[in-house]
Amino acid sequence: MSVTINIKLDGGKEVSVTVASTEVTVLELKEACVEASGIPAPEQRMIFKGRVLKDSQTLASYKIESGVTVHVGKSTVVKDGPIATATEDKPTEQPPAGMAFGGLGGLPGMGPGGMPDPSKIQEVMNNPQVQQMLTDPSFIT
Protein backbone atom coordinates (compact mmCIF):
# COMPACT_ATOMS: atom_id res chain seq x y z
CA MET A 1 0.00 0.00 0.00
CA SER A 2 1.51 3.35 -1.02
CA VAL A 3 2.12 6.06 1.56
CA THR A 4 2.02 9.82 0.93
CA ILE A 5 4.32 11.91 3.12
CA ASN A 6 4.09 15.69 3.35
CA ILE A 7 7.55 17.24 3.09
CA LYS A 8 8.20 20.71 4.51
CA LEU A 9 11.36 22.24 3.03
CA ASP A 10 13.51 25.05 4.34
CA GLY A 11 11.88 28.31 3.32
CA GLY A 12 8.38 26.99 4.00
CA LYS A 13 7.71 25.22 0.69
CA GLU A 14 5.60 22.09 1.12
CA VAL A 15 5.40 19.12 -1.26
CA SER A 16 4.01 15.59 -1.10
CA VAL A 17 6.02 12.47 -1.88
CA THR A 18 4.59 8.99 -2.34
CA VAL A 19 6.57 5.85 -1.48
CA ALA A 20 5.67 2.16 -1.74
CA SER A 21 5.04 1.52 1.97
CA THR A 22 6.19 2.33 5.49
CA GLU A 23 8.77 -0.45 5.14
CA VAL A 24 10.97 1.70 2.86
CA THR A 25 14.07 3.17 4.46
CA VAL A 26 14.64 6.83 5.25
CA LEU A 27 17.32 6.80 2.52
CA GLU A 28 14.70 5.67 -0.01
CA LEU A 29 12.42 8.51 1.12
CA LYS A 30 15.32 10.95 0.71
CA GLU A 31 15.90 9.67 -2.82
CA ALA A 32 12.21 10.24 -3.58
CA CYS A 33 12.57 13.84 -2.31
CA VAL A 34 15.59 14.81 -4.45
CA GLU A 35 13.56 16.24 -7.35
CA ALA A 36 11.16 18.19 -5.12
CA SER A 37 13.81 19.52 -2.73
CA GLY A 38 16.74 20.05 -5.08
CA ILE A 39 18.98 18.59 -2.35
CA PRO A 40 20.96 15.41 -3.11
CA ALA A 41 19.89 12.51 -0.86
CA PRO A 42 23.23 12.29 1.05
CA GLU A 43 22.97 16.00 1.95
CA GLN A 44 19.37 15.88 3.20
CA ARG A 45 18.56 15.95 6.89
CA MET A 46 15.08 14.69 7.75
CA ILE A 47 13.37 15.52 11.02
CA PHE A 48 10.16 13.99 12.32
CA LYS A 49 8.71 14.82 15.75
CA GLY A 50 11.98 16.50 16.72
CA ARG A 51 14.17 13.51 15.82
CA VAL A 52 16.78 13.39 13.07
CA LEU A 53 15.99 10.31 10.97
CA LYS A 54 18.71 7.73 10.26
CA ASP A 55 19.08 6.52 6.66
CA SER A 56 19.08 2.81 7.55
CA GLN A 57 15.83 2.87 9.55
CA THR A 58 12.40 2.23 8.04
CA LEU A 59 9.58 4.74 8.11
CA ALA A 60 7.60 2.28 10.24
CA SER A 61 10.34 2.30 12.89
CA TYR A 62 9.65 6.03 13.39
CA LYS A 63 5.86 5.47 13.23
CA ILE A 64 5.68 7.56 10.05
CA GLU A 65 2.40 6.95 8.26
CA SER A 66 0.49 8.47 5.38
CA GLY A 67 -0.36 12.14 5.83
CA VAL A 68 2.34 13.08 8.36
CA THR A 69 4.80 15.94 7.79
CA VAL A 70 8.56 15.42 7.70
CA HIS A 71 10.90 18.43 7.73
CA VAL A 72 13.76 18.36 5.21
CA GLY A 73 16.78 20.63 5.13
CA LYS A 74 20.31 20.59 3.84
CA SER A 75 22.73 18.96 6.25
CA THR A 76 25.87 20.82 7.21
CA VAL A 77 27.67 17.55 7.91
CA VAL A 78 29.75 16.05 5.09
CA LYS A 79 29.24 12.29 5.26
CA ASP A 80 31.56 11.19 2.46
CA GLY A 81 34.50 13.48 3.19
CA PRO A 82 37.83 12.28 4.49
CA ILE A 83 38.01 11.63 8.19
CA ALA A 84 40.91 13.26 9.99
CA THR A 85 43.02 10.73 11.84
CA ALA A 86 46.07 11.01 13.98
CA THR A 87 49.32 9.93 12.36
CA GLU A 88 52.88 9.63 13.54
CA ASP A 89 53.63 12.91 11.75
CA LYS A 90 50.76 14.74 13.47
CA PRO A 91 50.26 13.73 17.09
CA THR A 92 46.90 14.45 18.63
CA GLU A 93 46.74 17.50 20.85
CA GLN A 94 45.68 17.20 24.47
CA PRO A 95 43.31 19.85 25.82
CA PRO A 96 44.82 22.30 28.29
CA ALA A 97 44.32 21.54 31.98
CA GLY A 98 40.86 22.52 33.20
CA MET A 99 39.38 22.36 29.69
CA ALA A 100 37.77 18.93 29.94
CA PHE A 101 34.16 18.22 28.91
CA GLY A 102 34.20 20.08 25.60
CA GLY A 103 36.43 22.93 26.72
CA LEU A 104 34.00 24.34 29.27
CA GLY A 105 36.16 23.97 32.36
CA GLY A 106 37.53 27.50 32.34
CA LEU A 107 34.27 29.32 31.68
CA PRO A 108 32.55 31.35 34.37
CA GLY A 109 29.63 29.57 35.99
CA MET A 110 31.25 26.19 35.74
CA GLY A 111 31.68 24.13 38.86
CA PRO A 112 34.64 22.06 39.95
CA GLY A 113 36.18 19.81 37.29
CA GLY A 114 34.38 21.61 34.48
CA MET A 115 30.91 20.43 35.50
CA PRO A 116 28.19 23.01 34.85
CA ASP A 117 26.39 24.74 37.68
CA PRO A 118 22.73 23.54 37.50
CA SER A 119 21.39 27.03 38.26
CA LYS A 120 23.34 28.43 35.27
CA ILE A 121 21.95 25.73 32.99
CA GLN A 122 18.42 26.56 34.15
CA GLU A 123 19.07 30.26 33.53
CA VAL A 124 20.26 29.57 29.97
CA MET A 125 17.35 27.22 29.23
CA ASN A 126 14.82 29.82 30.42
CA ASN A 127 16.26 32.48 28.11
CA PRO A 128 13.60 33.41 25.47
CA GLN A 129 16.17 33.30 22.66
CA VAL A 130 17.18 29.74 23.59
CA GLN A 131 13.51 28.73 23.81
CA GLN A 132 12.93 30.13 20.32
CA MET A 133 15.91 28.20 18.91
CA LEU A 134 14.74 24.95 20.51
CA THR A 135 11.26 25.22 18.99
CA ASP A 136 12.36 26.32 15.50
CA PRO A 137 12.96 23.26 13.26
CA SER A 138 14.84 25.37 10.71
CA PHE A 139 17.47 26.16 13.36
CA ILE A 140 18.34 22.48 13.65
CA THR A 141 19.02 22.01 9.96
Is the pLDDT at 20 greater than 50? The verdict is yes
**pLDDT score of 70:** 96
55 or 112, which is more confident: 55
Among the ranges given (12-16, 75-79, 124-128, 136-140), the one the predictor scored with the smallest mean pLDDT: 75-79
From CA 32, how far away is CA 53, in angstroms rounded?
Answer: 15
Beta bridge partners of 56: none
100 or 11, which is more confident: 11
From CA 91, how far away is CA 135, in angstroms rounded?
Answer: 41
The tens digit of pLDDT for each residue in 110-132 reads 555 566 677 777 888 888 887 77
**pLDDT score of 86:** 42
Q: What share of the chain in percent tops pLDDT 90?
A: 46
* Contact in structure between 55 and 25 (CB atoms under 8 Å): yes
- For the chain, domains (ranges, CATH) are 3-74 (3.10.20.90), 100-134 (no CATH)
**pLDDT score of 93:** 58
35-57: average pLDDT: 93
**pLDDT score of 137:** 73
> In degrees to the nearest 10, what's the CA dihedral of 18, 20, 24, 30?
-30
Is the pLDDT at 63 greater than 90? The verdict is yes
